[in-house]
Every structure is written in C-alpha cells, then in structure tokens.
Structure 1
Amino acid sequence: MVAGISVTGLAACGGGDGDEPFQGDSADKVADKAVAATREAESLRMKGKVRQSGGEPVAIDIAVDQQKNCQGTVSVSGAKAEVRHVKATFYLKGDEQYWRSSLKQQPGAGKLVPKVAGKWVEVPAQDDQITGLCDKQGLLAAMDEDKSERKGLKKGGTSTIDGTKALALHKTKGGEKTTLYVAAEGKPYILKVTTTGGSEPETTTFSDYGKKVSPDQPADGETVDLKRLAAQ
C-alpha cells in the first residue's frame, strides 16, 4: 500500500538571524537540531500524509515508538483502516470499502474481501509497503534525505502549538512556502510543518513525544491471516 514513504514538507529548513529563541543559532542550525531531536525521540504521534510510490497520498494518524510498537489509522480515498503493530506482528482492520480499494488488483479479490472486512488482518512482515508505517525511522527518513534542502530558511515569529511555545522557520521555493515549527521549550522537537502555494495546502503535526505506545493484542477470534487466505 505505501512505498517510498516521504513526509510532505519535512525536507526544508535553513538560514536566519540570531533572534530569540535559539539566540546564537542560525535557522539552519535550529532546523538541524529539530530533525535530530525528532529522530532521536523514543516515541511520537504523527498526523499528516505519506506518499505511495506512483499512487495517491495516504493520510495517517499514528503513534509509534523506536521498537515499532504502533497504533492509529490510515485513510486512502476516504476509506479508513485501523493499524497496530504489537509483538512483532502488524495488524490492519478495514471495512469492505477499504479492502475493495486495496485488493482491486489482486485476483479473487471479490471472494477475499468478505473474509477480511471488519477483521484484524495479519499482514506478512515482508510487505514493507504496509508494515513500514510502524517504522518510526522510516517515516521520518525524508527529513535527512537531502540535507541541502535544509538551507535558506529564515526565522519567523513564535506561536503556541498544543500548549508549547514554537519558533517558525520559513522557506519559499518555486512559489511554494514551507513553514517548520520547532519547540522553543524543552527539546527542540518538530511540532508542525505546513506547505502552501502548491497544488493544495498540507499540514503534518507531531505530538505525544515520549508517550508510551501500548497497542492491545487483537483477540484470536478477531484475526485472520491474509497470506493464508490469499493462498486458498
């Protein structure tokens, strides 16, 4: 489902003056610190969009930690599914609409959909297009893909994001404006990224840093093995 994951708007930071907060640090230095702190965080909640390779964007709202424990939701074309990764197993539960959309290219999908709709489906570990959603470092990898993109951004004003003071860093390129909001209290985590001026405005938020992620194990009677069903 999801391949070549990239987080919209994250690869942009840089430049600036020495105004408070982060006095003495240029904007690109602040951005570097923010990327490092976010990647090093034990856990976080990410809400925004990731990109499918050659496909449409996938909206996600997922809490994930460094051990790949995760829980949340994914939405594709308006069809939503719950996801969990617990005890080294990835589970996904979608309704009939979700599975008809996801399995439309698979032979025998018409017979398979009723067997998986509304169930917690065990997804094969090698299907990293889906299980990659619970890889925290994979989700955030776009922030370090092209460090040259983290140049030329200027410090803006401060605002409050979910109760935390944040410094805005701005960059405009090709008519598209990206704003990165960095926590100015505690560790310099990324709190929000917005992109405007493109095909459509986009926002990615980051919260619940350090909060324990403890998804429940689905009950045996509520789970099905997708690999086994597809082989039947």
Structure 2
Amino acid sequence: MSTRSHVGSIGVCLAAAVALTACGGGTAKPAAGGSSRTPSASTTAAGTEPYADKTPAEIQLLASEYTRTATFKKARGTVTSEGTIVSVELSFANVDCAGTIKGEGLGRTDIHATPKVVYAKHDADALRAAFKGTKAEKELLVERAADRWLKVDATHSEAKATAYVCQLSNPATMVEDNSLHITRGGSATVDGQPAFMLTYPGSNGGTATDYIAAQGRPYLLKRTETGPEPYEVTYYDFETVTQLRAPADSEVVALE
C-alpha cells in the first residue's frame, strides 16, 4: 500500500468521529411550506419577540438558510463519539472550507477543502493513531508525511472523507426532520449576542437546542445536543472575510 493510501485513512477516522455523530445519520427536510430559496428575515416591532409571526419550524428553517448562505462564517465545536472527544475549528468562505480537527488520541489534522481538491496536514500523533502497520512502518510514514500538506482530488474517496466535516457549513445536515416537535424557549446570550432558543428531540436520545440571533440577521449562533454522544457547535464571525488562502504549491508534498 502506498504512503498516500496510509495517509488517507486519517481523514476517515477524524471526519467520521465528528460528522457522523453530529449529523445523527439523518437528512433535514424543509418545514411544510418551506422554499429552496433563501427566505427573508422578519421585521419585529419594538417590544415584541423576534419572529413572533413564524412557527418554531419556520424559524429553524430561516436560521439554517441564513447561516448556510453566509458568504463567510466560522464554526467551532466539540463532539463525543464512542467516548472520544473531538474538537473542530472551521472557517467557510464561499465554497471553500478550512480548519483544524483534533481528538483525544487522534492528534491534529488541518484541512483546506475546495470543490476541486482537498489539502490535509496531519501531525505525528494523527498518523500514528490512524495507521495500523508495524512500528517501523508508522515511523517511516511520520518521517515522510507528518506536518506536511498533502493534496488529493476532491472526487477521491479519501478526500471526501477528510472534507466530510465541512458539511457543518449547512446546519440543516445536522438534524432530522423534527418540524412537528420544535418548541420555542426563552432568551439567552451567545458570545455576548442576544438570542432565543428552540428545542426539539435530538438524534441520539437527548435534547437539541438551537440558539437563534435575536437581533440583525437570524443566524444560528449555536446548537447543542445532550445525550450519550453530546455535541456543541457555535457559529460566529459572519461576513468578516472574503476568501481563504490554500496552501501554496511549495508547501505541498507528493507521496506515492
């Protein structure tokens, strides 16, 4: 097996730990009467609660669409999968996604994903954790690939696995259709921003809570879920940057 094939398994391990738990295996569906177009935010009169004219399901759809279509945003979060805590920090600019995935015993992987190629850089711990070869083979892999950018065509299965976590750009991929079971809760604050809560059954037996911006555009500011495999994702820094810099060709190594 080539060194490139060994490295590819890293993305599968890390991305699966984050994305499969957060997504819960479900595919979100628009609420009844929903549209595939980005909906418009409601204006609220002073002293009234935001979006009082909409159902909780309509608000969740509105927030998901505003968050998904933001030209730039960041996300940070943690997820527990099979007892392992994995953390992610991602930036999204247009169709590009870049950031870091770290896990207890899984090391660190940096990624930069575009529609055409996916770059990944794994530290020594990530390589040792994912590769199941002999100690000598692991150390050879570490020597050749640790802390170096690798480039894979985006259509390759390894690239798709590595970039799977980038689906966090669309909050709707993280929930199942709970439009009939969403209830509106009280107010809250997320990173100093006023918000209000929506709660609904989670995908793994717990309770999920969405924190929706109460002022300005109705972005999803935070989503949490309790239960045996809890997770938390916070969205922030909306519309602050226009592009992400991919690794230069001189930073990328070719492994066979």
1:43 deviates by 2.3
d(CA) in 2 for partners of 1:105 and 1:150? 47
Structure 1 unaligned regions, length at least 5: none
Secondary structure at the aligned position of 2:143 is classed as: helix
TM-score calculated relative to the size of structure 2: 0.69
Supply the AA of the counterpart residue of 1:8.
Answer: A
TM-score calculated relative to the size of structure 1: 0.75
In 2 relative to 1, CA 132–9 (structure 1 residues): closer, same or farther, beyond 3 Å? Answer: closer
d(CA) in 2 for partners of 1:13 and 1:180? 16
1:86 deviates by 6.3
Secondary structure at the aligned position of 2:253 is classed as: strand
| Counterpart check, 1:180 vs 2:210 | yes
Aligned to 1:157: 186
Count residues in correspondence: 217
Aligned to 2:164: 132
In 2 relative to 1, CA 65–141 (structure 1 residues): closer, same or farther, beyond 3 Å? Answer: farther
Deviations 1:23-43 (A, max 9, x none): 122212211211222222222
In 2 relative to 1, CA 44–36 (structure 1 residues): closer, same or farther, beyond 3 Å? Answer: same
**Alignment partner for residue 101 of structure 2, among 52, 74, 78?**
74
In 2 relative to 1, CA 105–42 (structure 1 residues): closer, same or farther, beyond 3 Å? Answer: farther
1:172 deviates by 4.7
1:190 deviates by 0.7
| Counterpart check, 1:90 vs 2:104 | no
Supply the AA of the counterpart residue of 2:253.
Answer: V
Q: Judging by fraction of residues, say which structure has more strand.
A: 1
Structure 2 unaligned regions, length at least 5: 1-11, 32-47
Deviations 1:115-138 (A, max 9, x none): 01121222342121013344565x
Aligned to 1:28: 57
In 2 relative to 1, CA 132–202 (structure 1 residues): closer, same or farther, beyond 3 Å? Answer: closer
